[in-house]
Homo-oligomer: A and B are copies of this chain.
Amino acid sequence: MAASDERAQALAANEAFYRAFAARDLTAMGRIWAQEADSICVHPGWTPLFGRDAVMESWAGILSNPAAPRIRCVRARATVEGTVARVVCYEVIERSILVATNLFARERGEWRLFHHQAGPAGDDASVLGSAESEAGPGSKRLH
């Protein structure tokens, strides 16, 4: 498969992840996460979750929370390194901007998510479109 096709498929898998997240669709989320690869999920501000069972349990809680904020994914970029596809994107959750790393491995011909980490990003107001950022650049930098 051409590298551009590999990347396009990874971006499609990444979009499916955020679609399931936004729609609070736990069944779709379960299909998106890998069955064979070791899954790790680092939700923002959480300690890491190791293994599919712990990861899916977290999503069951998050997606069933009626107060869960809206999320959208913007500026996704995919690269393929050997057998693994990596997508880095911004997550916009109300007025917070996160940056996420999502890793995908091939299972039965499809990219399946086996790693997700999201954490606070810099205050790049352009990510929000016309919205203003509430703090100056670099205000969350730790080093």
Contacts and interface: CB of A to CB of B under 8 A. Distances in A.
Interface string A37-74: 11010111111101000000000001001001101000
A83 B122 CA distance: 31
Nearest to A119: B119
A40 B16 CA distance: 23
Interface residues of A, number: 46
23 contacts: A42-B88, A42-B99, A42-B101, A44-B119, A44-B140, A44-B141, A44-B142, A44-B143, A45-B138, A46-B121, A46-B122, A46-B141, A47-B124, A50-B77, A50-B88, A65-B143, A81-B84, A81-B103, A82-B84, A83-B83, A84-B103, A98-B142, A119-B119
Interface of A: 37-38, 40, 42-48, 50, 62, 65, 68-69, 71, 77, 79, 81-84, 86, 88, 93, 96, 98-99, 101, 103, 105, 114-115, 117-122, 124, 138-143
